[in-house]
Amino acid sequence: MSLFCLPLQSPENQVKAGRANVLGVGISAINLDTAVAAIAEALARKTKGYVCVTGVHGVSEAQADPAFRTILNRAFLTTPDGMPTVWMGRWQGFRQMRRVYGPDLMLRVCEFTRTRGYTHFLYGGAPGVADTLKARLEQRFPGLQIAGTYTPPFRPLNPAEEQQLQDLVGKLRPDIFWVGLSTPKQEKFMAQYWQRLEATLFFGVGAAFDFHAGRMRQAPRWMQRSGLEWLFRLGSDPGRLWKRYLKNNPLFILRALGQVTRLRRYSLD
Q: What is the pLDDT of residue 3?
A: 40
* pLDDT tens-digit readout, 105-133: 999 999 999 999 999 999 999 999 999 99
Where are the alpha helices (H) located in 114-262, listed in sequence order? 129-140, 159-172, 185-193, 208-212, 221-225, 229-236, 238-260
Q: What is the pLDDT of residue 1?
A: 35
* pLDDT tens-digit readout, 52-96: 999 999 999 999 999 999 999 999 999 999 999 999 999 999 999
Does residue 136 register a pLDDT over 70? Answer: yes
- Residue 133's SS3 state is helix
Q: What is the pLDDT of residue 247?
A: 78
Domain residue extents for the chain: 15-260
* pLDDT tens-digit readout, 2-35: 343 344 444 344 555 699 999 999 999 999 999 9
For 191, residues 6+ apart whose C-beta sits below 8 A from its C-beta are 3, 4, 6, 8, 50, 71, 74
Q: What is the pLDDT of residue 50?
A: 98
Q: pTM of the predicted model, to two decimals? A: 0.88
- How confident is the model over 237-262, as a mean pLDDT? 81
Q: What is the pLDDT of residue 230?
A: 61
Q: Which amino acid is at 196?
A: R
**Cα–Cα dist 175/199, whole Å:** 5
Residue 225, number of CB atoms within 10 A of its CB = 14
* Residue 13: DSSP 8-state: G
Q: What is the pLDDT of residue 199?
A: 98
- How confident is the model over 218-244, as a mean pLDDT? 69
Q: What is the pLDDT of residue 214?
A: 82
Looking at per-residue confidence, does 155 or 199 come out higher?
199
Does residue 255 register a pLDDT over 90? Answer: yes
Q: What is the pLDDT of residue 8?
A: 43
Does residue 262 register a pLDDT over 80? Answer: yes
- How confident is the model over 211-235, as a mean pLDDT? 73
Q: What is the pLDDT of residue 7?
A: 44
151: left (phi over 0), alpha (psi -120 to 50) or beta: beta
Does residue 220 register a pLDDT over 80? Answer: no
Per the prediction, the chain carries an average pLDDT of 89
* pLDDT tens-digit readout, 140-152: 999 999 999 999 9
